[in-house]
Structure formats: C-alpha cells, structure tokens
Chain A
Amino acid sequence: MENVRIVIGLVLIALGMFVYLTATFGLFRFHYVLNRMHAAALGDTLGILFVLLGLMVLVGWNFHTLRLGLIICFLWLASPVSSHLLAKAEFVTFKHIKTECEVVEK
C-alpha cells in the first residue's frame, strides 16, 4: 500500500514535470507574445497542479496536505489573472495587433 502511494505520487510529479517541459519548450519556440503566454500559462496552472497533487499524495493525509491545497487555490486564482493582465497590456500597447491575430470588435 505504501509503495503504491509513493509510485502514484512520483508519477504525478513526473507528469507535472512533462507539462513544464512542454511549456518551456513552447515558451522558447513560439515567436509572438500571446502564443508564448499561452504556453507559459499552461505550465503555470496544469503543471503546478500535477506537481502539488503528487506532493500531497507523497506527504500523506495530514496538515501539510491542506496547506498544499491552499497553495493550489492561490496559484489558480492568481496566475491566470496575471496572465490576463499581461495579455491586456500587450493588446493595448501593440499597434499592429491586427496583423498578428484576429481582433473581435465590440
């Protein structure tokens, strides 16, 4: 039973690391800002979720699990908002945005 738990935790952490790897790869591979931001946000949310879930499984059921859950909550609230603000800044300041992507006029 103990071994199964450790294996599940390690697999989850490895999945998170894989997501991070793809995110970093995308961050360097894409050229336009919004595309790169998309890649980075993937690592920020899904990657951190897998890593922290793996840590929760590894630690076992005690007070630390709750703390890790709080960290997931905080990061899922904070990092999409910061990405949104960065994207908004890019949208406001970049003059030739229509050449890079479709813009829906309100």
Chain B
Amino acid sequence: MSKMARIRKEKKTPWQKFCAWVNGDAAEQMLLPAQPPKESKKKAAKAKREKTTSNHRKDMGLGQFDHIYRICAVLIGIAIVSVLMAVVLKLPLFGSPDNPSVNEVVERYVEKGLEETGAVNMVAGMILDYRAFDTFGESSVLFLAVTCVTMLLMRDRNNTDKKEDMLTAQEHVIEGYEEDIILTKISRLIIPCALVYGIYVVLNGHLSPGGGFSGGTIMGSALILFAVSYGMIRMSRFFTYATFRKVTSSALMVYAASKAYSFFTGANHLESHIPLGTPGAILSSGLILVLDICVGIVVACTMYGFYALFTKGEL
C-alpha cells in the first residue's frame, strides 16, 4: 500500500515509468483496484463480495463496454467465419492434378528427389535437404522456447520465498519415500522399449515415416515417464541443467556446421564429398541422417525440459 502510494505521488520521467512497468508495479497499480478502507465489517464484506463477483474490467472503468465488446466479438467472429467459408468454397479439389500448387517445384521434388537427396522418404528429403534451413529455424525456435520458459519458471533466489522453499523440501521428502511399486515395475519394462522405438524412428527418418521431430518427441516422453515414476532426484543423476545446455547447444551447432558445409560447397560449385549411398540403406542419403539425429536430440531435450520446468521449476 505504502509502496503504491509512494509511486503514485512521485513525478516520474518516462524512463522511470518504463522501469516501473517492466518491474510490474504499473500493471499492479492498474489491474488491482485501490483497497477499500476498513470502515466496518459489513461494508468490507460487501466490498469483498463485489470485488469477487465483478471482474477486473469493471474496476478499470470498462464496465459499460462489456456488452458492446461481446456484440462486436460475435459480429467479427461471424464475419471471419463467413469469409473463410467463402474462400474454402472457391478452393480447388484436394489432390487434383491441375491445382496451382502442382508446379515445377513439386515436379522437381518428386522426379529428382531420390537421386539428389538419396532419401526414400520424400518428406525427409524435402525438409532436411532442400529446405534444411527452414528446419534449422524450427529447432532454434524450440530452443528459444525452452530458454524463455527457463527465464520465466526457473527457480532461483530471486523468485522464491521461504514458503515455497519449504513446500519444495516437503515434496522432495515425499518423493524420496514414496515410489509407486506398480508404476516403477511397469515403467522399467516400458521405458527401454519407448527409448529404442524413438531411436528407431529417428534413425529411419529417411526410409520410413518419422524423423527427428516425431522420434524426439517419443524419446522425450520416455524421459518424462522416467521422471514421473522414479522422481526428479534419480533423474538428476544423469540429466542436469548443465547436460541439457551442453547437449542441446552442441546438437544445434553440429546441425548448423553440417548444413553450412553443404551450403558452402553448393554455392561455390564445389563437389560435396559426402556420399549419398544406396537408397534404402540405413547409412545413406548424405547429411540427412546427421541432421535427423541433431533435431531428435534437440526435441527430446526440449520436451523433457518443458516438463521439468513446469513441474518443479528446475532441470
């Protein structure tokens, strides 16, 4: 209360205002209504009831706009849906040969894809050879997302208080004692199978449906199952924040380096010394296997990182 009053009294420069806004003081001031003075018990109770029943919009002086807002929302929704429906009715049939999307790019992919990339699975050849730069952006986005979640939810000295520390300690104690015996026995059976299946999907990305993203998600789910059944303490014996950082960034760097090599040789009309191999074999199709493994590692670590940060706030 006193802090807020102090902020309101001071005449601030825009820079100070901006700092306050970044630190969250301005938002607090705007969203939360000023506390009602404690006059009598009845009035306080009534004010509290009003505060809980009415939403925050009313307190910000937007009460009369509520109806207009809803009507506008419905109208705009109907307009957007009708425009989309009209567009969908004009679309050509799915899969017909005279679509505008069937042009020389698609012909090139379908006709020369096998001999140029060496991948039997055309989709892997497309996303990891012709459009590998695009996929690099996607895995960087995943890395960025997990970085943002780390910034928001990572637990350290600045964003925890004593109560939360106590709760975490309690949870650790409970975790140490209680392991559900049915879950642990069954997950001991399932986790290796899931990991092997994920590795199979990653390694066979250029031969069968699958690849880095799906296989990485399966491996990440296996890691999450391990963390659920055995607890974070057992998990942190082989997967800590340092491991996560090293593994993810080195996988991204290997991706960037190998793609940079092929871009360099391609742009300078040099011959790439990576053999394409016979189509259909595991060790074939040049760099696609390496890129698939890198993407799979990044995705698996990201999935587990999301889970760990959301549940415990630590990796």
Contacts and interface: CB of A to CB of B under 8 A. Distances in A.
Question: Are A and B subunits of one complex?
Answer: yes
Interface of A: 74, 77-78, 81, 84-85, 88
Q: Is the interface of B mostly helix, strand, loop or mixed?
A: helix
Contacts, number: 16
Interface stretch (B24-32, B133-141, B179-187): B179-187
A23 B182 CA distance: 24
B180 A77 contact: no
B85 interface: no
A93 to B, nearest CB: 14
Interface residues of B, number: 7
A66 to B, nearest CB: 14
A2 to B, nearest CB: 30
Contacts of B87: none
A77 B190 contact: yes
B189 A81 contact: no
Nearest to A78: B190
B183 A85 contact: yes
Nearest to B193: A74
A74 B193 CA distance: 10
B191 to A, nearest CB: 11
Nearest to A85: B183
A80 to B, nearest CB: 9
Contacts of A78: 186, 190
Interface string B220-258: 000000000000000000000000000000000000000
Given A74-B190, A77-B189, A85-B180, 13 more contacts: A74-B193, A77-B186, A77-B190, A78-B186, A78-B190, A81-B182, A81-B183, A81-B186, A84-B180, A84-B182, A84-B183, A85-B183, A88-B180
